[in-house]
Structure 1
Amino acid sequence: MREDTKYALITGASGDIGREIAIALAKQGFHLYLHYNRNEKAIALLQEELVLFGVDVIPIQADFTNSDAISRLQDSVFQLDVFVHAAGNSYYGLFQDMPDQEIANLWDIHVHFPMQLLQKWIPKLQRSDAGRIIFISSIWGEVGAAMEVAYSAVKGAQIAFCKALAQEIAASGTTVNVVSPGMVDTKMNHLFDEEEKTALLTDIPMHRFAKPSEVGEVVAFLASDRASYMTGQTMRLDGGWFMR
């Protein structure tokens, strides 16, 4: 790989937020590894769109609940300058009714396996002159949410992990930051009915949900040279919903 090229890996690139992150980074000239689990069609459509930017696009399939798949993914990446963890799922319901397997899956996808990947990839990122680690967490990881207790817990764990890792590797110049969106207009949030959405919009000072592209732009900033002195930070993107 040429020294003047930059490669970014985006987990969950087939999702609404992952897609917009890919586009925003491609606009900045990053070549891309696009991770997905099941939605191969979405990745194929995204590849077609990214042709406009003249960057290399390498799709990688891996199930984040399968340890063998994680090992294969670790060995599939060569140069790496930016790691963005946007893969995720949610569970909506009473915590006492939540199956153990759902709890385990949330932990694996949001915390365990990205940590495992980074154990092997941190040396690659530290060899870059602009290594970046960026996690897409959630406002629920900061303030918690009823009916999404386990999801709030793993999102909070992401924030704690990034703060600690940022301190550990700061001297190498590799930064570690978190983007913490509030409500984003994605398929994952379409589980709310119109009445629930209206109630949420009433609470948000800007009276709208974030666009996935707005999350992508924040990630693009954190991946750029403009954010070279920013590390260990949680950038909240919530339209003024939770101010403190």
Structure 2
Amino acid sequence: MLNYDLEASTYDRTRGGDARAASAAEAVETLLPADVGSLADLACGTGIVTARLSARRVVGVDLSQGMARVASGRLPGRVTVADVTRLPLADASVDAVVMIWLLHLLDHATSAAALSEAARVLRPGGTLITTVDKEAAYFATPCDTADLIAPVRALSLTPQSDAAPRVAGLVAALDLEPSGQTTFPGDGQGHSPRAWAAALLAHRPAWTKNADARALTELCDRLRALPDQETPRPDPVYRLARFTKASTGAI
């Protein structure tokens, strides 16, 4: 996992910046009910998305002090450093919980604990919004690089913490039911064939660590043989899932 304290100062610039954040926030807004007044953004990072939701009473939570320091510049007095499995929030205290690009970073036990905490702090009838299936985002739009990479990825991918069926099953046990979904583009994040080959050889993303070494080398050779080596392919398309907590009943 990245050292987010060290990455904080350059994170936005290297992850799509304002364009990606605006797309993410707009997608979140389409899923938020009109009556949401208070919102907790877990793993808020630099606050670049959180700040765009700040018309509501927003609190940002992040484990990284470096990220929280940057976020505090955007949301003075509304960012706290905390573990998402031990939130400094009271039971049933917020109308909505948002988790953007969080669950895929966590192992299965920790992601389950984070979802349980989100359910705890949500009021009855509250809304949980989370990204799911992040690793699939680059393969949502067919193109030559995706066609080459997808078969090798499928053989190397381990069960993901943010897999949509897994998340739905975990939150169902917490009295949250599916209530909507949408997608948004990772503006400016499409990779060229050359960039893909370099990333795969550097074992990014994580599934490449499980790939057969010969298959990975052959894949990179095929990527380098594609035309338009410096031309970025389609941007990734991220998925958001919305769940609603039961209006009555205990977790």
TM-score range, shorter chain: 0.3 to 0.5
Question: When the two structures are superposed, what TM-score results if normalisation uses the length of structure 1?
Answer: 0.44
Judging by fraction of residues, say which structure has more strand: 2
**Greater radius of gyration (CA):** 2
